[in-house]
Amino acid sequence: MDRTIYGMIDDLYLLCIVIDKTSIAAASSYLEIPTSTISRRISSLEERLNAKLFTKKGRNITATTFALELFQSYQSLFNHLNDDLLHKKARHGEVSGKLKLVVPSLFYQQIIKSAVLKFLHKYPKVELDLVLSGEQAEPELDTDIIITFKQNIDESMIARPLFENSVGIYMSTLLFEKGKAPQNLQELRNSKWIGPDPYKVKLTRNHKKTEEFEGLQKITVNGIEAVIELVEAGIGIASLPINLVKNNKKLIRIFPEYEQPNHMAYLIYKERKYQTKATQIMIKILLDEIAQFTAHKN
């Protein structure tokens, strides 16, 4: 029997949860099982493997090198199995209820629109509240899933990084050809900017911090499509995702020697125990669709 993994899978899963949550107490709360049960199962796993998995320092425990090796090998596999089983289970039961999805308008149109439509066709009893938002939308308590580029994320929500967008400064090509482009950083700072509120511009050159612009003269716009249209019309300049506007002949990138922090897209949702079947399925569908988009993008 010791030559098989029979009876060890659940214990390996517990090990991964303890390491992921950084403590037995946190794993107990997450899984809703007693700490004594987890401790006993970990001890049993140590006996089966003939190896120490944790060391104690006061009330804290630290994973051994071997435990971390097991975690790195099996965590992604357990996540995949967990998501896949929940998805399959949900397919065999009625999926209904309400689901609120908040997503930037352009993100919806270009990346996940077809996935959302497929979901609605497959699960017609789900009442979807689809909110097309700005790129910096804040998670709200009544939101099941939100996609945002906002960096300050509520700690009570789970945030999965999706992909990064490189950013450049753009202005109207027509104005540029008329010689209306700012000629130095001071003129750039004093230009009229277009974007969300609050708006901050950080510029680096050769990986060294050089400038940070705050308190800019600006027009506040929270939707990327409207920002692009206003820049095209020559109303002002803006920081825009390079891959989104690189083929736009109405726009031209200025100060390309300066870099800005990438914009990270996040998929944000409540902890699994607060998720409905519809939410779990939608998260899986969105992640699959976005993974295909990023693979094609790269």
Q: Which amino acid would we find at residue 87?
A: H
What confidence score (pLDDT) does residue 285 get? Answer: 94
Question: CA angle 75-37-8, nearest 5°?
Answer: 45
- Secondary structure (3-state) at 56: strand
Mean pLDDT of the chain: 87
**Does 2 score more than 80 pLDDT?**
no
**Phi-psi label, residue 130: left if phi above 0, alpha if psi -120 to 50, beta otherwise:** beta
Mean pLDDT of 90-106: 81
* Percent of the chain's residues with pLDDT above 90: 51
Helix H or strand E encompassing 122: helix 113-122
pTM over 0.85: no
Extract the tokens encoding 29. 């709360």
Which of 49-53, 59-63, 151-155 is least confident?
A: 151-155
**Does 80 score more than 80 pLDDT?**
yes
Helix H or strand E encompassing 69: helix 65-91
Residue 193: φ, ψ to 5°: -100, 155
Q: How far apart are CA 40 and CA 135, in angstroms?
A: 47
Q: What is the DSSP letter of 13?
A: H
Whose tokens are 């249209």? That residue is 229
Q: How far apart are CA 127 and CA 117, in angstroms?
A: 13
Q: What value does the CA radius of gyration of the chain take, rounded to a whole number of Å?
A: 24
What confidence score (pLDDT) does residue 169 get? Answer: 95
Higher pLDDT, 225 or 137: 225
What confidence score (pLDDT) does residue 1 get? Answer: 47
